[in-house]
Amino acid sequence: MKYFKILLFVFSMSASTVLSQETKKDSIPEKPARPAFESSYLINNPSNVLFARKTLEIQIKHRFGLINSGENDLAGIWAPSNIRLGVSYAVGDRWTLGFGTTKFDRLQDFSLKIALFRQTRSNKVPISASYFGNFTIDARKKEDLKFDQDRFSFFHQIIFSKRFSSNFSLMLAPSISHYNVVESDMNNDLFAIVFGGRCKISPQSAILLEYNQPFASSTEEITSDYGPKPGFSIGMEFSTSGHAFQLFITNYNALVPQKDMMFNQNDFFQGDFLIGFNITRAYRF
Amino acid sequence: MKNLITLILIILFGGFILPPMTVEKSNQQDLWQVPAEYKNLENPYADMKDEDQIGRITFSKYCKSCHGKKGIGDGTAAKLLETPVADFTSGIFKDQTDGSIYYKVYTGRNEMPGFQKIILEEEDLWLLVNYIKSL
């Protein structure tokens, strides 16, 4: 009985000792990790980043001509260029609607991005995942296309990302592209994987890298020389309080992801690359 | 004739003397009243080690352009402002409570923007306060 009382006393003291170890941080609920990337686009591909509710983001993307075109065009800067003007609005903290208009083929894209789950600071949830999808209309003159449905293409992607530290983040994003109308020796659908990363070199600047591998196959019984070339981009990002500026070289110039993935014939490692830049500006209401 | 000459002299005198008498920009900020609840607000992250340098990154992104790299008010954008930019290294500034600095960053005043809709994480704002005080 005596020992029982001693044991009971010891247990009661140890319970209060355990409680007294609780710190302010222990009582703070699990928080999402800070954004892995600065803007909603890595270079050509969307990132997993979604802004807070009521944020309006303006996107300007510009791709000059090929550097090796052989024309006297200042490394493609004076050559015909492709431009996309876009806007996205964060309707909620976890979903964003977007619209963009692109010069080549007069593409009009309507997009949706949804945060599926988010990396937490404790790493209990080790990665983030977002869904990005778009529906794009080729708005060229009717003479160029036989049926209205010929104008449509679709893109679906799941973007996995991980913020390893405040200076280093990686991204992996499988995707499916679909065109209602393609050449006879092509499939309407194409699977691809994007691999990208950001490495900060100062509080406001970072090196960006992106590689896109399409997995195309010819239709049965028809052999084809068709095969979209992989995409490769490397550049720098400079961020301010509201802007992110990206300057890079890339072999992708379509500005709408499914068009790049399905139809790109520029081979980066054969010298088919161009200078491009992206500017994004976020307005928070 | 005498009156005309006098009048001309007065106009010329005024024309030379008055323009240089521009209002000099004060090098002192007007007193910024901070509500008592913010003045006495405890910094829950006062002893936190900022291993990810969130305070420094946030300062660099949002504050450096006006307040300068070292926080002495010599940023490139400071010249464009009418309001004198605070020197974070001064004794007067450092005598403030953490809550007062938090309030000023959060709400802003005149040419100083408020960051309540920009720095959304409370922790990031406190880490910025810690960094500013360390300058």
Walk me through the domains of chain B, giving residue ranges and CATH numbers.
35-134 (1.10.760.10)
B-chain residue closest to A244, CA distance: B61
Least confident piece of the model among A171-185, B20-34, B61-75, B105-119: B20-34
Report the C-alpha gap between B84 and A185 in whole angstroms: 68
Whether A113 has a pLDDT exceeding 60, the answer reads yes
Residue B70, amino acid? K
Q: What is the pLDDT of residue A16?
A: 45
pTM of the model: 0.81
What residues of chain A lie within 8 A of the CB of B123, using their CB? Answer: 31
Answer whether B60 sits within 8 Å of A203, measured CB to CB. yes
Whether A28 has a pLDDT exceeding 70, the answer reads no
Answer whether B117 sits within 8 Å of A285, measured CB to CB. yes
Predicted complex ipTM: 0.72
| pLDDT tier, B46 (very low <50, low <70, confident <90, very high otherwise) | very high
Contact A159, A152 (CB under 8 A): no
Exposed, middle or buried: residue B98 (CB in 10 Å: 0-12, 13-18, 19+)? buried
User: In terms of pLDDT, which residue wins out, B1 or A173?
Assistant: A173
The C-alpha angle B50, A50, A190, rounded to 5 degrees, equals: 125
Query: Would you call B56 an interface residue with chain A, using a CB distance cutoff of 8 Å?
Result: yes
Q: What is the pLDDT of residue B9?
A: 85
Instruction: List chain A domain ranges.
Output: 31-284
Q: What is the pLDDT of residue A6?
A: 59
B-chain residue closest to A53, CA distance: B117
| pLDDT tier, A153 (very low <50, low <70, confident <90, very high otherwise) | very high
| pLDDT tens digits along A66-111 | 998 877 889 999 999 999 999 999 999 999 999 999 999 999 999 9
For the segment(s) A31-284, the CATH number from 1.10.760.10, 2.40.160.40, 3.30.360.10, 3.90.1210.10 is 2.40.160.40
Answer whether A239 sits within 8 Å of B61, measured CB to CB. yes
Query: Would you call A241 an interface residue with chain B, using a CB distance cutoff of 8 Å?
Result: yes
Report the C-alpha gap between B77 and B101 in whole angstroms: 21
Rounded to the nearest angstrom, the minimum Cα separation between B42 and chain A is: 13
**10 Å Cβ neighbour count for A7?**
10
Least confident piece of the model among A15-29, A90-104, A194-208, B82-96: A15-29
